Amino acid sequence: MKNIVVIGAGTMGNGIAHTFAQSGFKVNLVDVSQEALDRGLKTITTNLDRIIAKGNLTEEQKAETLGNITTFTALQNAVGSADLIVEAATENQELKLKIFGQMDEFAPENCILATNTSSISITKIAAATKRADKVIGMHFMNPVPIMKLVEIIKGYSTSKETFDAIYEMSKTLGKVPVEVNDYPGFVANRILMPMINESIETLYNGVAGVEEIDTVMKLGMAHPMGPLQLADFIGLDVCLAILNVMYDGFKNPKYAPNPLLVNMVMAGKLGVKSGEGFYDYSESKKAEKVAKMFSK
* Catalytic option among 3, 47, 119, 151: 151
Please indicate whether residue 168 is annotated as part of the active site. Answer: no
Please indicate whether residue 244 is annotated as part of the active site. Answer: no
Torsion of CA 176, 180, 186, 190, to 10 degrees: -80
* Catalytic option among 119, 139, 170, 276: 139
Distance between CA 267 and CA 263 in Å, rounded? 6
Please indicate whether residue 189 is annotated as part of the active site. Answer: yes
* Catalytic option among 28, 47, 118, 170: 118
Please indicate whether residue 118 is annotated as part of the active site. Answer: yes
* Catalytic option among 189, 199, 244, 258: 189
Closest CA to 182 of 240, 228, 118: 118
Closest CA to 231 of 149, 292, 223: 223
Active site positions, annotated: 118, 139, 151, 189
